[in-house]
Structure 1
């Protein structure tokens, strides 16, 4: 079961998601992305866009962006 959170160091939205996943004791890997949107090819490949955070949860067949959507999914799925 693989979960990956794509995030940018210092991004408050990314930190909010990471903090909540940690509180829920969810195992995930972090992929740190570049500050420049033009260098976020991996994020673009998995999600179709370059913004972060992005959560990829292979067990649930989910790839999603936007912190509020990710937090809602986390509450419904992992809590």
Structure 2
């Protein structure tokens, strides 16, 4: 899958990104991360930090964090594709 969202269950910022991806009818895969930051090695490997949400768009070579940035990217780039 080209789009992967690293998210934490119950995270309100992650839910906003999920909702935006769903509303734009974008196919994506979710990688659920551990609640403890110290156990988030997978997200650290791809983004260099342990916070979520993180969106990885392999097709465009984009990896980004911060929900506001991700939401803007979904709206301006992915939804218009």
User: What's the TM-score once normalised by structure 1's chain length?
Assistant: 0.97
Q: CA deviation at 1:24?
A: 0.1
Per-residue CA distance 1:16-36 (angstroms, 9 max, x = gap) = 000000000000000000000
Tell me the residue number matched to 2:38: 38
Cα-Cα RMSD: 0.8
Please list, as runs of the form range in 1=range in 2, the aligned pairs for 1:57-68 lying within 5 A after superposition: 57-68=57-68
Tell me the residue number matched to 1:22: 22
Tell me the residue number matched to 1:3: 3
Secondary structure of the structure 2 residue equivalent to 1:59: coil
User: What's the TM-score once normalised by structure 2's chain length?
Assistant: 0.95
Tell me the residue number matched to 1:74: 74
Structure 1 segments of 4+ aligned residues over 2 angstroms from their partners: none
Hey, what's the Cα distance between the residues in 1 that align with 2:75 and 2:19? Answer: 13
Aligned residues: 79
For structure 2, list consecutive stretches of 5 or more residues without a partner in the other structure: none
